[in-house]
Amino acid sequence: MSNDNHGNTPAAWTAVVVAMIGFIVGGVGLMLDPISFVIFWVGVAMVVGALVLFIVMDKMGLHG
């Protein structure tokens, strides 16, 4: 199974954007004073959700 997309698919881009937003949310939670672990864990959940979103979009045929 060889494709020449190299990550340039809707599934890959969507997962990367959601994961990046998750990292930003988590980082903001850690920079607050006092640290907001609720916001941090929301960011972690978003990163995990990005993986799930990628798998679902891949099964829908949006990854090459």
CA atoms of 2 and 4, how far apart (whole Å)? 7
Q: What is the mean pLDDT of the chain?
A: 92
Burial of residue 47 (number of CB atoms within 10 Å: 0-12, 13-18, 19+): middle
The per-residue pLDDT for 5 is 65
* Mean pLDDT, residues 43-59 taken together: 96
pTM of the model: 0.86
Contact predicate 11/63, CB 8 Å: yes
